[in-house]
A and B are shown apart, each in its own frame.
Chain A
């Protein structure tokens, strides 16, 4: 019996890291959404209560955290498409490695376009 799995195709490569990232981003978005449904529900309490809480979304620290949220969603969404293509497209698993870099590139480009504008809104 081997003491540890040796030379697998999967361990430590793109296949593994994309899975780790997909999992971490999914959990992060989930916990954001729990809080987000609660903060949005304040509109039923009073307009003042909602405005006070949503004001924290415009502070520098939360403003920066929103960049993290957007980055997480960009990766999770495009990597989600990659997973679906691996499942359903006959050449999906052949190109999974290349598709990972396409995912990262598209996410990065959109993030780079979004960031200056968002920072302008938060700090401007």
Chain B
């Protein structure tokens, strides 16, 4: 005689398991970030003169291209949420008092949201030829440099 255990053996959890989704997110975003962050470092530190070439005109050149806009947008969202959720794990490990823990986690997510909003606005309201720029600081394709 064998015992038959009728499925489902455990009751289905009624609420969303946020810890599980957080765990999955860390892995999925991690794989995507390898491409995004290494691509970013390759373009900005390796190609040409690397760090020496970076200035306003360099950024203007990159963000005139929707490819790099989307690249940076994805990197911004994925890295900040990944990093914030990782920091949350660490706070959960070390914060002794429940009140301190709650407060720190709240600060982490507030910072995350603020920087995501800021970074997204920066990418999509960016003007490569602003009126307050002098010709030397502006990229060569700006009207002030075309004469």
Partner-B contacts on A (CB < 8 A): 23, 26-27, 29-30, 33-34, 37-38, 40-41, 43-44, 46-48, 50-51, 54, 57-58, 63, 66, 70, 73, 77, 80-81, 83-84, 87, 114, 117-118, 121-122, 124
| Number of CB contacts from chain A to chain B under 8 A | 103
Are B52 and A37 in touch, CB under 8 angstroms? no
Considering the chains assembled together, what is the distance between the CA atoms of A35 and B65 in angstroms? 24
Shortest Cβ distance from A29 into B: residue: B83
Which of A30, A48, A58, A80 sits near B83, CB closer than 8 Å?
A30
Partner-A contacts on B (CB < 8 A): 27, 30-31, 33-34, 37-38, 41, 45-46, 49-52, 54-57, 59-60, 76, 79-80, 83-84, 86-87, 90, 111, 115, 118-119, 121-122, 125-126, 130, 132-134, 137-138
Considering the chains assembled together, what is the distance between the CA atoms of A37 and B122 in angstroms? 9
Contacts of B30 in A (CB 8 A): 77, 80-81, 84
Contacts of B115 in A (CB 8 A): 34, 37-38
B contact patch SS: helix
Considering the chains assembled together, what is the distance between the CA atoms of A98 and B138 in angstroms? 51
Known contacts A43-B126, A57-B54, A121-B49, A48 near B133 by CB under 8 Å: yes
Considering the chains assembled together, what is the distance between the CA atoms of A123 and B57 in angstroms? 22
Are B27 and A84 in touch, CB under 8 angstroms? yes
Shortest Cβ distance from A110 into B: residue: B38
Are A47 and B133 in touch, CB under 8 angstroms? yes
Contacts of A30 in B (CB 8 A): 83-84, 86-87
